[in-house]
Amino acid sequence: MAKKKLTGAEIFLRALKDQGVEVVFGYPGGVTLSLYDEIYKQNRLRHVLTRHEQAAVHAAEGYARSTGKPGVVLVTSGPGATNTVTGLTDALMDSIPVVCITGQVPTALIGNDAFQEADTTGITRSCTKHNNLVKDVDDLARVLHEAFYIATHGRPGPVVVDLPKDVVNARGVYVGPDKVRIKSYQPRVKGDIGLIDRAVKLMAGAKRPIIYAGGGVINAGPAASARLERLVHATGFPCTLTLMGLGALPASDKHFLGMLGMHGTYEANLAMHHCDVMLNVGARFDDRVTGKLDGFAPEAKKIHVDIDPSSINKNVLVDIAIVGDAGLVLEDMIKAWKPTPAKDTALKSWWKKIDGWRARKCLSYGNNGKLAKPQYILQRLQAEIKDRDVYVTTDVGQHQMWTAQYIHFEKPNRLMTSGGLGTMGYGLPAAVGVQIAHPEALVIVVTSEGSLQMNLQELATISQYRLPIKILLLNNGYMGMVRQWQELFYGKRYSESRYQGDPDFVKLAEAYGAMGLQAERPDEVDGLIKKMLAHDGAVLANLPIDPTENVFPMIAAGACHHEMILGPKEPDLAETGEDVVLA
Amino acid sequence: MTATDENIQFHTIAILVNNEPGVLARVIGLFSGRGYNIESLTVAEVKHSESLSRITIVTSGTPMIIEQIKAQLERLIPVHRVSDLTVEGPFVKRELALVKVQGSGENRVESLRIADIFRARVVDSTNSSFVFEIVGDTGKLDAFVDLMAPLGLVDVARTGVAAIARGAAAL
């Protein structure tokens, strides 16, 4: 029996339905009119209209990271497609599953420099995990299903499907998702048992072990995070997390040393530097984590668990490399783990050393100026939200690092931040995606006046959908991180890092129908945060902060983990005998 | 880890890919985007029924970079198999060149003599020129081209390397 033929637009809707897609973030245009007409005719698939295509991708990322499901984007050809490039690159760097459907001019016009034509597959080839131009409507369903498969299997990432207008309007045959099998893409998920046994033996013999986990654990689903916690408890090992991994182990766990890396804690970085066995699960030895490679954990035997074979031995040569899904490998490691009482004393003295480093209280800061300190503001926020299930997004820069340091993430999928690409303007649209996915949840954007204004137009999206997002704006009048580097490494020559002419953010919030709040003095911070959280709609709270405040601890680019710069308000560190530089 | 390291090796890598639009751009884009070297590259469809093409790349880098190149290639969705012929055992490596030599008199005779030694064939001839076809490994072709240079060499077209493992095993 011949199958009934559907239009490309109908196939598109059917494929999204069969993939379980509930929300699409997008922006219509000339060549996607037929798709939007099909969306108009139904009620099942929800479309969220952002105010810029880059924001649509970030919103889809926020949706994906807070739910574990792929985020879906629909944009038009030409500028619609090129505007997605930053978002797609962001999703690629942070391994976020996104399926982005771009309209394209009719196949007969491709290559003719037609109106709103861009070589979308050419432009996005290096910023996607995969992309595809559909030339035949009979391929459409298969290509869409493959896109979802590729985006969500193996190391997740963004996939673009470029859809010419005539293909959307033509009639073809629909096939379901169960028919999809990509012969050339079968990622390995189960780790090699022999290697896992060797790794566990190495761990059992460790005197100064550390577990260093990253976003791969979060991507492997909440079960993987639960297994990480079980492994940490079974072994009694200290554990540090990357920016992308925060929440994979509860921040309140006594084995948690805080974030590591350039702005990681004193104890996490020194434990990394002095460890003798390192278990890396789902992290990629990024340069912001390792610092100078020659001096990275010089005494450590290294075990690396990663689903992407190209992550292994890319930056750091490891002793045992296990390719597989973090959750499955952790499960096998727990099974293989046998406690060895003999090494308890060694572990005890390692913890004693770590507790000594912890006693430095590297995140303490002076708090006596006329302007509020950002650390203080975030500590007050943390105190207010500690008993609630909160989703936090950030932008990029100093406020991002302070959020990572002072907000405690107890669960995975609760922090949405641009890690690899460092995309200013990520936070606000990402929060849109998070709030759409979790309508009842408390969603907070921690941002700065620089980042916020990179996707400020999304205040209109928030207004349109009445999203009760809370925007905490730490306003220092500078590109803070640039200012910090100029202060420390460029002789305080603050070249083009000062913002002037910023708007009145309270009036701005009100213009978009949100509540605008403004604090002037440190003693107003508490009340303002309470007021912000109590309001049932969107809030933009502008808090001027001390512009001279820097993020510490800090490992300068190209330095080693034990060469940390600590904040100026630190107590005397001489007694540790560690190589510490004071700012 | 930079290319200035002394430990630079040359590897011949065979890649089996779907013959689909953009697949070559993906492979080349990977090399240029990540700063890897391409010494030679050939591509052609090898199995029409399954729409499979074979790409042969000669590349250079430190052992760590060579491992990265292979892992990155394997990550591309349309890539079925990546085989590092250089490490997987003995293999045969061939290249074809068309070499045009212009001239008359003794040079013309000499070019024919050398062509004979190299088992190059004349595939086109005029009163003042020859086109030689020569097959061999890269070194042999280099030597032939060098010898033709003083004899009126005006044009060279080379295919790049095609390579296959010796023995019964297939990619």
CB atoms within 10 A of CB A535: 15
Q: What is the pLDDT of residue B5?
A: 59
A278 closest CA partner among A213, A337, A219, A326:
A213
Radius of gyration for the alpha carbons in chain B, expressed in angstroms and rounded: 19
Residue B4 lies in a domain: no
Cis peptide before A177 (omega within 30 of 0): no
Name the nearest CA neighbour of A396 among A527, A551, A231: A551
Measured between alpha carbons, how far apart are the two ends of chain B, in Å? 30
Query: What is the C-alpha separation between B115 and A551, in angstroms, rounded?
Result: 71
Among B88, B106, B132, identify where a domain stops: B88
User: CA nearest A185 in B: which residue?
Assistant: B77
Task: Could you list the beta-strand ranges (E) of chain B.
Answer: 9-18, 40-47, 52-61, 79-84, 91-102, 121-126, 129-136, 153-158, 162-165
Assigned token pair, B22? 């953009």
Number of domains in chain B: 2
- Residue whose pair of structure tokens reads 């068309």 in the numeric block: B98
Is there a contact between B77 and A308 if contact means CB atoms under 8 Å apart?
no
Task: Tell me, yes or no, whether B169 lies in a domain.
Answer: no
Amino acid at A408: H
Q: What is the CATH number of the domain that holds B133?
A: 3.30.70.1150
CB pairs under 8 A between A and B: 42
Of A183, A314, A317, the CB nearest to B80: A183
Report yes or no: A104 and A132 within 8 Å, Cβ to Cβ.
no
A53 is catalytic: yes
Output the domain CATH number for residue B27: 3.30.70.260
| Same-domain check for residues B30 and B78 | yes
Does residue A165 carry a catalytic annotation? yes
CA B75 to chain CA centroid, Å, is: 23
Number of H helices, E strands in chain B: 5, 9
Residue A494 carries which side chain, given as an amino acid letter?
Y
Per the annotation, the verdict on A400 as an active-site residue is no
A313–B74 C-beta distance less than 8 A = no
Q: Please pick, among A333, A424, A481, A564, the residue that the annotation labels catalytic.
A: A481
- Contact yes or no for A310 and B72 at CB 8 A: yes
Name the domain boundary from B66, B88, B110. Answer: B88
CA angle A18, A19, A23 (to 5 degrees): 110
pLDDT for res A572: 42
Residue type, B5: D
Contacts of B75 in chain A (CB under 8 A): 308-310
Q: In the structure, how many helices (H) and strands (E) does chain A have?
A: 23, 22
pLDDT for A568 = 76
Cis bond leading into B150, ω under 30°? no
Q: What single string gives the DSSP state of each residue in A209-226?
A: EEEEE-HHHHHT-HHHHH
Tell if the CB–CB gap between A309 and B74 is shorter than 8 Å. Answer: yes
Q: Taking the domain A5-179, which CATH number applies?
A: 3.40.50.970
Residue B26 lies in a domain: yes
Closest-CA distance of chain B to residue A191, Å: 17
Q: The tokens of A569 are what? A: 């308000």
Instruction: Answer yes or no: are the C-beta atoms of A261 and A272 closer than 8 Å.
Output: no
Residues of A in contact with B25 (CB under 8 A): 122, 125
Q: Does B102 touch chain A (CB under 8 A)?
A: no
Domain check: are B56 and B109 in the same one? no
Q: Would you give per-residue pLDDT tens digits along chain A (583 residues)?
A: 567 899 999 999 999 999 999 999 999 999 999 999 999 999 999 999 999 999 999 999 999 999 999 999 999 999 999 999 999 999 999 999 999 999 999 999 999 999 999 999 999 999 999 999 999 999 999 999 999 999 999 999 999 999 999 999 999 999 999 978 899 999 999 999 999 999 999 999 999 999 999 999 999 999 999 999 999 999 999 999 999 999 999 999 999 999 999 999 999 999 999 999 999 999 999 988 998 898 999 999 999 999 999 999 999 999 999 999 999 999 999 999 987 766 688 999 999 999 999 999 999 998 877 899 999 999 999 999 999 999 999 999 999 999 999 999 999 999 999 999 999 999 999 999 999 999 999 999 999 999 999 999 999 999 999 999 999 999 999 999 999 999 999 999 999 999 999 999 999 999 999 999 999 899 999 999 999 999 999 999 999 999 999 999 999 888 888 889 998 754 444 334 454 554 4
Would an 8 Å CB–CB cutoff place B21 in contact with chain A? yes
The Cα of B160 is separated from the nearest Cα of chain A by a number of Å equal to 25
Evaluate whether A378 touches A400 at the Cβ level (below 8 Å): no
Give a yes or no: residue B2 inside a domain.
no
Structural domain that includes position B159: 92-164
Judge whether B1 lies within some domain: no
Half-sphere exposure of B69 toward its Cβ, with a 13 Å CA cutoff? 28
The CATH fold assigned to A193-358 is Rossmann fold (3.40.50)
Residue (of B107, B97, B147, B100) closest to B124 by Cα position: B100
Specify the fold of A374-544: Rossmann fold (3.40.50)
B67/A313 touch (CB, cutoff 8 Å), yes or no:
yes
Nearest-by-Cβ selection for B22 from A121, A182, A313: A121
Best of A89, A126, A128 to substitute, by most chain B Cβ atoms within 10 angstroms, is A126
Closest-CA residue of B relative to A184 is B80
User: Are B78 and B148 in the same domain?
Assistant: no
Q: Search chain B and give the residue with CA nearest A317.
A: B64
Residue range(s) in chain A whose domain bears CATH number 3.40.50.1220: 193-358
CB contact under 8 A, A317 and B64: yes
Position A108 scores a pLDDT of 97
- For residue A309, the chain B residues in CB contact (below 8 A) are 71, 74-75
| Rounded distance between C-alpha atoms, residue A463 and residue A480, angstroms | 29
Closest residue on chain B to A147 (Cα) = B77
Output the six-digit token pair for A266.
């004193």
What gap in Å lies between CA B118 and CA A213, rounded to an integer? 60
The one catalytic residue among A129, A165, A302, A470: A165
Distance from CA of A321 to the nearest CA of B (A): 13
Do B65 and B100 belong to one domain? Answer: no
Query: Best residue in B77, B80, B81 to probe A by mutation, most A CBs within 10 Å?
Result: B77
- Of residues B152, B155, B154, B119, the one with CA closest to residue B135: B119
Q: Which residues of A touch B (CB under 8 A)?
A: 121-122, 125-126, 129-131, 133, 150, 182-185, 293, 308-310, 312-314, 317
Q: How far is CA A195 from CA A46, A192, B13, in A?
A: 46, 5, 27
Same domain? For B72 and B84 the reply is yes
DSSP β-ladder status, B40-47 and B52-61: antiparallel
pLDDT tens string for chain B (171 positions)? Answer: 444 557 999 999 999 999 999 999 999 999 999 999 999 999 999 999 999 999 999 999 999 999 999 999 999 999 999 999 999 999 999 999 999 999 999 999 999 999 999 999 999 999 999 999 999 999 999 999 999 999 999 999 999 999 999 999 888
Strand-pairing partners, residue A301, are A277
Chain A residue with Cα closest to B72: A310
Give the integer Cα–Cα distance in Å for A42 and A215.
36
Domain boundary among B33, B65, B88: B88
What is the pLDDT, as a whole number, of residue A574? 38
- DSSP assignment of A418-474 equals --SS--TT-HHHHHHHHHHH-TTSEEEEEEEHHHHTTSTTHHHHHHHTT---EEEEE
Query: How far off is chain A from B66, nearest CA to CA, in Å?
Result: 10
List residues bridging with A323 in a β-sheet: A306
C-alpha dist (Å) from residue A54 to A62, A424, A429: 12, 12, 9
Using alpha carbons only, give the angle A291, A295, A300 rounded to the nearest 5 degrees.
105
* pLDDT for A505: 97
Amino acid making up residue A235: T
d(CA A103, CA B162): 39
Please tell me if residue B7 touches chain A, with a CB cutoff of 8 Å: no
Closest chain A residue to B65, measured at CA: A314
Report ipTM (2 d.p.). Answer: 0.87
The single residue of A5, A22, A69, A116 carrying the catalytic annotation is A116
Domain with CATH 3.40.50.970 in chain A: 5-179, 374-544
Give the chain B residue nearest A146 (alpha carbons).
B77
Q: Encoding tokens for residue B94?
A: 């061939």
Domain match, B71 and B118 both: no
Find tokens 């931040």 and name the residue: A417
Contact predicate B161/B40, CB 8 Å: yes
- The total of other beta-carbon atoms located within 10 Å of residue A429's CB is 31
Say how many residues make up chain B.
171
Q: Dig out the tokens for B159 from the structure.
A: 């295919």
Helix locations, A29-101, DSSP H: 33-40, 53-67, 79-82, 85-93
Paired with A131 in beta bridges are A160
Which tokens in the block code for residue A243?
């920016």
pLDDT score of A567:
83
